[in-house]
Amino acid sequence: MHIPTNEIKEVQRFIFDKGCIVVQFDRTLKPHPYVNVANFKVMKIVRSLYSMGCVEKFFAWRDAYYVITKKGIEYIRRKHYLTENDYPSLYDSDPLAETKTVDQEGEEEIIFKE
């Protein structure tokens, strides 16, 4: 089966931007709900990434959830000529994340952002 390069790149870029993708195992579903590519083609593209170890696969009923791995981040960076500073939004810092500081006495305290 031939899949055009622009469709492969569109799916790969979506996975890189979001950090994950949900694929419904329905071959009759024409367009994928999040990417403007046929669902069957998305299934094949993601299966290829899974076989290379670029994504991890999780199942729930008839849906498969694919989450990008570190190997996948590096692979898509090379394919799309992205910089080292580009990360999936899945890895963005949490606004409620903790911040570690060291006071004058050398003790470490954890401060949560509000």
Q: Give per-residue pLDDT as tens, 45-103.
A: 999 999 999 999 999 988 999 999 999 999 999 999 998 888 888 776 555 555 556 66
What per-residue confidence (pLDDT) applies to 111?
59
Amino acid at 101: T
pTM of full prediction above 0.75:
yes
Over residues 100-108, the mean pLDDT reads: 66
* pLDDT band with cut points at 50, 70 and 90 for residue 29: confident
| CA 30 – CA 78 distance, rounded (Å) | 30
What per-residue confidence (pLDDT) applies to 57?
96
Indicate the length of the chain as a whole number. Answer: 114
The third-level CATH classification (topology) of the domain covering 5-112 is: Arc Repressor Mutant, subunit A (1.10.10)
Tokens of 23: 């694929």
